[in-house]
Amino acid sequence: MEEIKFDVEVRKSTGKQTVKALRRQNMIPGIVYGGKSGPTVIQLDRKKFEGVMRLHRGQNVIFHLNVLENGQKLRDYAALLKEEQNHPVLDNVVHVDFQRIDLKKEVTVKVALEAKGDPAGVKQGGTLEHILWELEIVCLPTNIPQKIDVDVSALNMNQSIHVKEIVLPAGIKVKNDPESIAFTVAPPRKEEEAPVEGQPAEPEVTKEKKPKAEGGEAGKEAGKEAGKDKK
């Protein structure tokens, strides 16, 4: 599990205009929440953060946040990145959420599943289908794996690997349904037979569309301080 030290600064003010000004200065507004302390609104250097994420994209990383105020160290937090919001057009980061963690207490995270090996069924003409791309696991923060490799080489045609059959590292529990299929080898698809010459093709069956129900979704509750920052 990668552990990274990262400096962040306490934000003195919040609100729409403040976060717009921060973004113009190449700073990212954010928030740290969780644990016994209340939320801390922060700001961090965009280039440094995006540089870290380019190196560790798709991986779980423990951030050791060095929280500064007026250039002086105020406190430090061990934290996981819980949400990263990007601009819909420019795709640059516009807001981040960190969750404080206790390195001695278990956390729930999602970890990527990756297939290893060449399935026997694929060599026979089948196709490996990757059904489940992540596992939701529970473990100590320092035991979080970057990914979980699954050996699929023994899979024959029409065989599957279920969650309960995946070999996990020591100290890790899984929250997914144990009967869920993670990988399967599907047989080759049969080509549709062309109609015999002189024989009419089957008529196309059409289904009548059901009318849409009137009304829309109920309005969602307005967000609190962090929600305002993300606009």
Could you report the per-residue pLDDT of 163-189, keeping only the tens digit for each? Answer: 999 999 999 999 999 999 999 999 998
pLDDT > 60? residue 135 = yes
pLDDT confidence band for 1 (50 / 70 / 90): confident
Give the lowest-confidence range in 7-16, 81-90, 193-202: 193-202
What does the pLDDT average to over 97-112?
A: 95
Question: What's the chain's average pLDDT?
Answer: 85
The CATH homologous superfamily to which domain 2-101 belongs is Ribosomal Protein L25; Chain P (2.40.240.10)
Q: Considering the domain 107-186 in this protein, what is its CATH number? A: 2.170.120.20
Question: To the nearest whole percent, how much of the chain has pLDDT over 90?
Answer: 64
Report CA dihedral (165, 171, 177, 178) to the nearest 10 degrees.
Answer: 20
Q: How many CA atoms lie within 13 A of 82 on its CB side?
A: 14
**Is 217 a residue whose pLDDT tops 70?**
no
- Among 154, 72, 75, residue whose Cα is nearest residue 115: 154
Give the residue-averaged pLDDT of 222-231: 50
**Which sequence spans correspond to the domains of the chain?**
2-101, 107-186
Q: Which of 15-24, 135-144, 218-227 has the highest mean pLDDT?
A: 135-144
> Is residue 207 predicted with pLDDT exceeding 70?
no
Contact 120, 154 (CB under 8 A): yes
Parallel, antiparallel, or unpaired: how do β-strands 107-116 and 134-139 relate? antiparallel
> What is the pLDDT at residue 228?
53
pTM exceeds 0.75: no
Average pLDDT, integer, range 96-116:
95
Do residues 115 and 128 lie in contact, with contact meaning Cβ atoms separated by under 8 Å?
yes
